[in-house]
Amino acid sequence: MSSTSMGMKKEWHLSPIAFFFALALLYAPPIAAKKSYVVYMGSHSHGRDASGKAFQTAELKHHRLLTSFLGSQEKAREAIFYSYTKHINGFAANLEEEEAFAIAMHPDVISVFLNKGRKLLTTHSWNFMMLEDGNGETLSSSAWDKGRFGEDIIIANLDTGVWPESLSFSDFGYGPVPSRWRGSCENNTKAGVPCNRKLIGAKFFSKGYEYYAQPIDASMKSPRDYDGHGSHTLSTAAGNFVPGAELFGVGPGTAKGGSPRARVASYKVCWPPTNDEGGCFDADMLAAFDEAIHDGVDVLSVSIGGDPTDYFNDGISIGTFHAVNNGVTVVCAAGNSGPDAGTVTNVSPWIITVGASTLDREFQSFVEIQGDGRFKGLSLSDPLPENRLYPLITGAQAQAANVSAEDAMLCLPETLDSKKAAGKIVVCLRGQNARVDKGRNAALAGGVGMILCNDIVFGNEIIADPHVIPATHINYEDGNAVFAYANNTKNPLGFITAPKSVLGTKPAPFMAAFSSRGPNTVTPEILKPDITAPGVNIVAAYSEGTSATGLPFDNRTVKFNIDSGTSMATPHVAGIVGLLRSQHPDWSPAAIKSAIMTSARTRGNTVAPMLDGSSFEKASPFSYGSGHVQANRAMDPGLVYDMTTEDYLDFLCALGYNQTLIKQFTDEQHVCRDFLSLQDVNYPSFSVPNFSGKATLYRKVKNVGSPGTYGVKIHHPPGVIVSVEPEELVFNRVGDEKEFRVTLMAHWTIPASANITEKEFTFGGITWTDGRHYVRSPIAVGLGN
């Protein structure tokens, strides 16, 4: 459903969501089986300080509403498996489609949507972002120093749980739990999750998942992490300083989170993936959001995503709105579906959406071929048993009987012939199955090692994995050279060097090929992602309840592990948010987001523009948003583009939602302003997706620094002339707000050097500066649409 569709007028007292839900059901084939749905009714009126009686009353109302459709209280009690009673108003229930259709037409209901499954999307990161020096000492006046390491800020994640025994979550040296904390540990036992003064909360939510999957064994029903993903992300955001962290002897250092003195809480909403869905379901996530807001968290990190969809039909959008409405800053992953355009998820304007980029540290393991060939790869595997050259064979050359050469080239399960591969290094192509699974298949066929080669889509993005066989991962160009050598040499021979940690590599950062890209397909007037952060080869705490690779054939357990994804980038930003909350407790979530975005950098350590890991060409705001996060600069951004709940409600008004529906959403009276344009939402970036030759956009900035005068610098997008009025803003005190307008005019003679791509979008930006602060905002313009 597009944002244009959202603007249709209500008929028969149906909300826009309910109207299209009804159409979908009318044209869908009849299915008698029940499914689980979320019935969303907006916000509660009982306030943040409400307690048990108010929650019981809310639950009773949900049962009464459902009873009116199902005919009996008993049926309603059996159908409802969650009542959202604290901040989010609604419930999750098992219903037939006809029942869901009828409920969607009720005037108190905003939307009814299927309980969908979603997917889960370090020792050096903080040095790379200049919070510490090369010896691991905190830099004076850094974000760590100014933000007091996030002391007593409460950072939580929605993920796979937590491994409480990790030293990242030890409470040694911590004082009492902050008195404002209202949460608890649901399974506070040694076998469950014993909490402490660092790990102050842990809960799990599984009812939405269990409706679609097999019931979870009672021994596994706890907030304990049996996957590793949740422990990794939570420790990245706020894990303790842990000296000597390493993985298989490579890359030793002191692990730490972005806010290492913050308190942490874990809300487990993700379970083993189902056959056709991810393992994180909307019904469970909404229950977790409701609890986290009530418990008193300050920052929420959510490394979960799915297909982008309309805001009232999306559990993450709904949950995060209520969180932000209660002062919680929420950081979400952009997704791992790059490099294709239009794949970015978690696009709500109240979310900080994070892409993934690289560090200047690599775990290098080289491929050497007979002669002068030497190609850089990345790995965390054991070395080959002997320091000598080994025979090379491609997956296609080792093709087993009755399988295709294409499948064998990918080293899929049971595609390699042991008579051909035994004793050799197998050269495999990336794609379809897991990278470490390819090495496992090579090993099962008797291979002694594996060289993993990128295809053209993944380009230059290479990942260090803890392979179960001596292996390394090389880029597309080098992979072509290795394939050519193996295919055209009578007795090809090669070697894989042992992994070694190398710092200061260039260029860095560059965008990960897997990081999802804009434009925003739900509301293209909001530029997404917002920011990029380290998300490739990140070392952090892990669960000892699973293997190093998470695959069933691997029996190695680790205290720290390496992982890649926008999942890993997200908690880096969440940790920085904790530092900002500590230094600026009066800043709104929108002000924090603006500070992070407008202080970002779009150039790497070569001073050249950031590159795209897929093509190694210049990256764009559709991949990095406003740029690579700079925690130190974000602490003192000078100006911010602030937004309140009222501004977000105006955004929904501009989408076509009426005032009655919006009142249910917030349980507050909101008057929609006339002639509000989506392009005038006070966002720290600018997007004009359907440029017709002229456009004017309005913004407002607030001074959060010292008094001063800011002038504007303009970077014109190719084909567009940008003007800003006024060209100078004078601020006399902290809190002063000034408005300005940005006018875009077409300049149709586009130089050939502009190299306009991304479906004919062109990019530029504006920067407000007083000579000390640089408040940057990207501009994206859709030409010829």
Sheet holding 367-369, edge to edge: 374-375, 367-369, 493-496, 390-394, 425-429, 449-453, 471-474
Rounded CA-CA distance 80/60 in Å is 11
Tell me the one-letter amino acid at 168: S
Residue 399 sits at the vertex; the CA angle it makes with 398 and 403, to the nearest 5 degrees, is 165
Reduce the DSSP state of residue 79 to 3 states and report it: helix
Q: Is the peptide bond before 339 cis (omega within 30 degrees of 0)?
A: yes
What residues does 739 pair with on adjacent strands? 700
User: How many residues make up the chain in this entry?
Assistant: 785
Q: What are phi and psi of 265, to 5 degrees?
A: -140, 145
The widest CA-to-CA distance across the chain, in whole angstroms, is 80
Annotated catalytic residue 159: yes
Can you read off the two tokens belonging to residue 503?
A: 């710092």
**How far is Cα 722 from Cα 744, in angstroms, rounded to an integer?**
5
Contact between residue 346 and residue 353 where contact means Cβ atoms under 8 Å apart: yes
Tokens of 368: 């050497």
Q: Which of 450, 441, 514 is nearest to 482 (CA)?
A: 450
Q: Looking at residue 620, what DSSP letter applies?
A: -
DSSP 207-245: HHHHHHSPPPPGGG-SSB-SSSHHHHHHHHHHPPPEEEE
Question: Is 723 designated active site?
Answer: no
- Which burial class, exposed, middle or buried, applies to 273 when counting CB atoms under 10 A from its CB (0-12, 13-18, 19+)? middle
SS3 label, residue 61: helix
- Separation CA 483–CA 312 (nearest Å): 50
Q: 270 CB contacts (<8 Å, ≥6 apart)?
A: 120, 158, 159, 160, 227, 229, 230, 278, 279, 280, 304
Q: Collapse the DSSP code of 259 into the 3-class scheme (helix H, G, I; strand E, B; otherwise coil) and give the result.
A: coil
Q: Which of 44, 229, 294, 584 is catalytic?
A: 229
Query: What SS3 state is found at 355?
Result: strand
DSSP 419-458: HHHTTSEEEEE-BSB-HHHHHHHHHHTT-SEEEEE--TTT
Catalytic residue among 152, 159, 290, 310: 159
| Continuous segment of H or E residues that includes residue 252 | strand 250-255
Per annotation, catalytic residue among 3, 501, 567, 594? 567
Q: Is 715 a catalytic residue?
A: no
CB burial of residue 671 (10 Å; 0-12, 13-18, 19+): exposed
User: What totals of helices (H) and strands (E) does the chain contain, helices first?
Assistant: 20, 36
User: Catalytic residue numbers?
Assistant: 159, 229, 567
